[in-house]
Chain A
Amino acid sequence: MAWIVEDRLKAYQPARNEPYLTAKIKDEVSRKYFPRYPNKRAALLPLFHLIMHEYGYIAPQAIDEAATFLELTPSQVQDAVTFYEEFRLEKTGRYVVNVCRSISCELCGHQRVLEKMREIFGIEPGETTADDKITLLEVECLGACEQAPCALVNEDLHGRIKPAEFCSQLQQLPAAPGHSTTDDVR
């Protein structure tokens, strides 16, 4: 829900010396995204997509760094970032399983997917497995209703899910620590 204020204490993380906005990210934004818009602020969403892709979540320090980079105040950046559901402020497991819960998926049995996930991995929506491998989330319509029930695993859409098959697919994914990009899933 876009307007729920995140608990700032929970979001607290110690600062680190190494910047989140690496030279690579800054370079990509300056080269690719700044020329597209009349001002720097408009590059905020592309910038945070890059950060999400790199780290899998958004650290408070990244917000401060982005503010300096985009010539905005930290509160302006915070205001925008906390609005969007895809920009997560907390760390997740390596694979984020976004199960769609909207009407077509509920009609076609998204509950059975969640039940199977609970049975196999012992997690409810919002929780992460103990080995930090899988985070389960329920999301609103993924725009793939003809493939209901469907889920987005990191950046890949899985449609016409058969719960048991889907869970065994997830089990077979490599469990190396850290955040993954879509390249590992394929």
Chain B
Amino acid sequence: MAYAGPVLLKRIPDDPAQRKLYRYADYIATGGYASLKKVLAMLPEDVIKLVVDSGLRGRGGAGFPCGTKWTFLPKDLFPRYLAVNFDESEPGTFKDRYLIDHDPHILLEGIAIAAFANKISTSYIYIRGEYHHEAKLLEAALAEAYEHGIFGQKHPGTDIVSHCYVHRGAGAYICGEETGLLESLEGKRGWPRIKPPFPAVAGAFAKPTIINNVETLACLPAIVEHGAAWFKTMGTPSSSGPKLFGVSGHVNKPGVFEEELGIKMSTLIEKYAGGVKGGKYRAAIPGGVSMGVLGTDQYNAELDFDIGRKYNVLGLGTAGVIVMNDKTDLVVMLRNIVRFFAHESCGQCTPCREGTAWMHKILNRIVDGFGQPQDFDMLAELCLTMGAMPGTTICGLADGANWAVKTFLQKFPEDFKSRLKSRQVQGVAGAGVA
């Protein structure tokens, strides 16, 4: 545990007045692209080994080891693609946007390193459609990078020319799922694919493809510069390195903060986000709404990749912490979350398409005062039957919905039960509303 200061946000000061956009020249002047130069003198295998040794885990939600993912590429299949996941549509998540707003070249350097290590011919930055400003920033940064030979050149020792392009999505949460993203990249509707084949074997345009999150790639320059052992001094044994935490909701100073993995949520809220606003802490979502909720007694939860096992949530997710104070109506908040999933379900698998819509209907009637006694159990039962983990859907969208519902029901049962009445008590007003 030795976090000495920002790694990813080293060019972005705390004071908003001093923040600025780092263009190519500014980036070079602050030591940028030095890691890329170092990498180009190494063997690709050694770069992969370095990333494996660093224990870098994917920052996009699942926490899959990045280096291991790279080793899944078949030996002799070319061309290979890299898809950079900048879809960032999970409510509560805005860390990548914040990073790219100020320092787009840190991502481009990371992409160049990954492209060299894996002999990638084309990298696509899949950015969500709503990020108009960031897409323009990246296009401008890419033009600079091409001009200075970061892209458009052959990887040393090969005939593979490295390219990098921005590909804009158009408003669909599901395109952040890796195979949904690939479909969208190919100009189709973003329906997730059945696996296998895994993207590492047949991904974009049926060629081997790696999909990495923006923050994961942005970690690479620092790992190359300081080494794997240094990276492991931060965080916990199973979750090494620094992490961007986005804090929003009922806090005095919402924003993106960098800390090592394993930091206590209470520290994050009090030291960085200025404390809880408008009341006392009641609940928080640790990493985007699909991860479930942390209860009132879990204020000190350590935010690392083991959080799921320890605190009965799905996982760390994107580390977008959403804080709720004691005046919040949690049933209304759960309805908001479930409406999101019902709205964003792609409709491919029946349990998810129907299940999320029914959850939304049930929560709507609870909020409106027409909840029935069996609704609590019905919600719990729906949670058990939909999702990739019970094995009824292709992707994990439904798991996100049911973990949110499940954990709210388990940790705050009284909020729900107190609003459920029998049909008789509801009287005429409740009749016919089912």
Contact = CB atoms under 8 A, between A and B. Distances in A.
- Do the two shown chains form a genuine complex with each other? yes
Interface of A: 1-3, 36-39, 41-46, 48-49, 70, 79-80, 83-87, 98, 101-104, 106-108, 139-148, 152, 155-157, 182
A116 to B, nearest CB: 20
B172 A104 contact: no
B289 A48 contact: no
Nearest to B337: A103
Contact of B347 (A2, A45, A48, A79): A2
Count class of interface residues, chain B: 35 or more
A32 B88 CA distance: 25
Contacts of B59: none
A66 to B, nearest CB: 10
Closest 7 CB pairs of A and B: A3-B347, A44-B187, A84-B170, A145-B248, A83-B189, A85-B171, A86-B171
B254 interface: yes
B170 A145 contact: no
Interface of chain B: mostly helix, strand, loop or mixed? mixed
A141 B89 contact: yes
B247 interface: yes
25 contacts: A38-B205, A39-B186, A41-B188, A42-B186, A45-B169, A49-B168, A84-B169, A84-B190, A103-B249, A103-B333, A104-B249, A104-B254, A107-B249, A107-B328, A108-B249, A141-B90, A142-B130, A143-B97, A143-B128, A143-B131, A144-B94, A145-B93, A145-B94, A145-B320, A146-B256
B132 interface: yes
Considering residues A84, A103, A144, which has the most beta carbons from chain B within 10 angstroms of its beta carbon? A103
Contacts of B340: 102-103, 140-141
A48 B188 CA distance: 12
Contacts of A83: 172, 189-190, 346
Contact of A155 (B132, B185, B345): B132
A3 B353 contact: yes
A46 B324 CA distance: 39
Nearest to B207: A38
Considering residues A98, A107, A155, which has the most beta carbons from chain B within 10 angstroms of its beta carbon? A107
A79 B191 CA distance: 11
A80 B165 contact: no
Given A141-B90, A141-B91, A155-B132, 9 more contacts: A1-B343, A42-B186, A48-B170, A49-B168, A85-B172, A102-B289, A107-B324, A140-B89, A143-B88
Given A103-B322, A145-B91, A49 B173 contact: no
A157 B137 CA distance: 14
B105 interface: no
Given A104-B248, A140-B91, A49 B170 contact: yes
Interface string B241-267: 000001111100011100000000000
Interface in B301-336: 320, 322, 324, 328, 332-333, 336
